[in-house]
């Protein structure tokens, strides 16, 4: 059963070839057998999962037939879940049990999905390798000496090893797309505001966006249709109608205009990764697409702009963790200042502290105009580059990551090298446009992802392109041998 896609498992439930309880037990057994070697889960919710699965079976027996009813999935441990620990990969929230449910998890639960557990992640979503977690690094199922990508690395590893058929993730600067690429999955970051951030623990509020990770574009379309929609509790949630993303998956690609930015294919891109990406684009051309060169002149500024804006917002968002109301509290504080200082220094890891310090500096008196304001101006230039490009093309294509998965520990002592791993993904978040990763080949036995970027609210177009590509290729069907 674990080799089947989410869509295939849904058909099996509808045809009574298996029950939700059988599916859930199968994946729980795989988690127990394989996760000790991967560390992809922080919390496994065995009892509640089986209870939810039994309830889903009752609903189907009573005549309900939703496409997601009874299907299991995992949630990134950044989404609040009532009565279940929500740690955000940090010692600061190691003892935090959420009293309320996030919009994303609530909507998927209402659709009848069964939560298997909460997946490991970089602490407070700050990282590109899933090595900053308080609970230890996650390992890539394709090579356990390598990283799965981050910050949604636990979700990516769990789905890649088929410990779950799908998982949720969040993407602030590439944290769905990059781990999806490094683990041979399909993952999509929708337009900013398409998916509610209510109950999603904030890293950088103007950049964070939730989305699905699964085996195929069809699976992601099913999940995104359920996850999306306006939420009055989230002031950044958009009141745009949500289409049925599965309805347009079969549309033809004849006449599709694909933009290739020269900035995506310059120095720094690994030759094997470029070969896989260009071969994928050639497949799309055979399906009727036309390639057009486009220019994103400010793309190279996305790294410095992002690493001013995101830490600045993080320093504000993380100020709430002070040891007073919830989360980690130091032992025997001498006074209020000691409580604040020791609770935060003990509760936060090195990378989180680094970004808080950078963000606080950028927002401080005398530096705000020089750094934060200037970064916001650059952000507008990056957005304008995309707006101009989408006047001439329908989709922009390129690599997700400059290389395949790097080795554990390889970049932990060099933060700048780690930050540059996101060079092709950051601009998408700064502009707020949708982007996704699609498996497009292997280099040295490691997966490579094709990045597809669309105009605002064009998630359906991206999923359509990815689906038609996956009908022509079989990269997305490959499973790491040890977990097949």
Catalytic site positions: 76, 151, 175
Q: DSSP label at 11?
A: H
CA distance 304 to 109: 39
- Kind of pairing between the strands at 166-170 and 114-119: unpaired
Q: Is 268 left (phi over 0), alpha (psi -120 to 50) or beta?
A: left
How are strands ordered across the β-sheet holding 290-294? 41-44, 114-119, 72-76, 166-170, 210-214, 186-189, 435-443, 446-454, 395-399, 257-261, 290-294
Which residues neighbour 176 within 8 Å (Cβ) at sequence distance 6 or greater? 152, 169, 170, 187, 188, 189, 211, 213, 437
- CA-nearest of 308, 309, 318, 310 to 347 is 318
Q: Which helix (DSSP H) or strand (DSSP E) does residue 167 occupy?
A: strand 166-170
Place of tokens 């729980």: 28
CA distance 75 to 162: 14
Q: Is 79 left (phi over 0), alpha (psi -120 to 50) or beta?
A: beta
Q: Extract the tokens encoding 89.
A: 């990969």
Q: Work out the angle between the directed axes of helices 217-227 and 459-472 (0-180°, nearest 10).
A: 160
Kindly write down the DSSP assignment for every residue of 393-456, as one continuous string: -SEEEEESSSSSPPBTTSSTT-HHHHHGGGTTTHHHHHHT--EEEEEEEEETTEEEEEEEEEST
Place of tokens 């927002």: 363
Residue 444, Cβ density class (10 Å: 0-12 exposed, 13-18 middle, ≥19 buried)? exposed
- CA-nearest of 206, 208, 142 to 180 is 142
Q: Extract the tokens encoding 371.
A: 């750094």
Q: Extract the tokens encoding 18.
A: 């298996």
Q: Work out the angle between the directed axes of helices 6-14 and 20-34 (0-180°, nearest 10).
A: 140
- CA-nearest of 196, 194, 197 to 243 is 194
């Amino acid at each position: 059963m674990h080799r089947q896609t989410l869509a295939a498992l849904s058909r099996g439930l509808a045809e009574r070839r298996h029950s939700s309880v059988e599916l859930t037990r199968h994946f729980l057994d795989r988690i127990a057998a394989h996760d000790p070697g991967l560390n992809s889960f922080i919390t496994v919710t065995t009892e509640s999962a089986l209870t939810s699965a039994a309830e889903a079976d009752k609903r189907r027996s009573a005549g309900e037939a939703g496409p997601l009813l009874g299907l299991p999935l995992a949630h990134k441990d950044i989404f609040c879940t009532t009565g279940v620990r929500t740690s955000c990969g940090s010692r600061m929230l190691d003892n935090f049990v959420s009293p309320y449910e996030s919009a994303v998890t609530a909507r998927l639960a209402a659709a009848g999905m069964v939560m298997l557990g909460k997946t490991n992640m970089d602490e407070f979503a700050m990282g590109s390798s899933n090595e900053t977690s308080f609970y230890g690094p996650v390992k890539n199922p394709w090579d356990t000496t390598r990283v799965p990508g981050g910050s949604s690395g636990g979700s990516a590893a769990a789905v890649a090893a088929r410990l779950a058929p799908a998982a949720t993730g969040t993407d602030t600067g590439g944290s769905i797309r990059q781990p999806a690429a490094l683990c041979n999955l399909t993952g999509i970051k929708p337009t900013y505001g398409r998916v509610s951030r209510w109950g999603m623990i904030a890293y950088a509020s103007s950049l964070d966006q939730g989305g699905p990770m699964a085996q195929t574009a069809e699976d992601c379309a099913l999940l995104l249709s359920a996850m999306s929609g306006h939420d009055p509790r989230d002031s950044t949630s958009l009141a745009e109608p949500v289409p049925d993303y599965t309805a347009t998956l079969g549309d033809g690609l004849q006449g599709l205009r694909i933009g290739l930015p020269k900035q995506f294919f310059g120095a720094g891109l690994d030759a094997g990764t470029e070969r896989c990406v260009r071969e994928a684009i050639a497949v799309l051309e055979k399906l009727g697409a036309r390639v057009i060169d486009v220019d994103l002149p400010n793309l190279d500024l996305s790294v410095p702009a992002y690493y001013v804006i995101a830490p600045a917002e993080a320093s504000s968002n993380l100020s709430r963790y002070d040891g007073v109301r919830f989360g980690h509290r130091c032992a025997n504080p001498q006074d209020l200042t000691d409580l604040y200082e020791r609770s935060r220094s003990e509760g936060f890891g090195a990378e989180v502290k680094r970004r808080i310090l950078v963000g606080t500096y950028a927002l401080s008196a005398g530096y705000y105009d020089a750094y934060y304001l200037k970064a916001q101006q650059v952000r507008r230039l990056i957005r304008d580059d995309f707006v101009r490009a989408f006047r001439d093309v329908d989709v922009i294509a390129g690599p997700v990551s400059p290389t395949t998965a790097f080795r554990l520990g390889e970049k932990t002592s060099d933060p700048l090298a780690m930050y540059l791993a996101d060079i092709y993904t950051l601009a998408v978040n700064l502009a707020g446009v949708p982007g996704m990763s699609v498996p497009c080949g292997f280099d040295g036995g490691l997966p490579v992802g094709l990045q597809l970027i669309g105009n605002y609210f064009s998630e359906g177009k991206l999923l359509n392109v990815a689906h038609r590509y996956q009908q022509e290729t079989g990269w997305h069907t490959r499973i790491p041998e040890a977990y097949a």
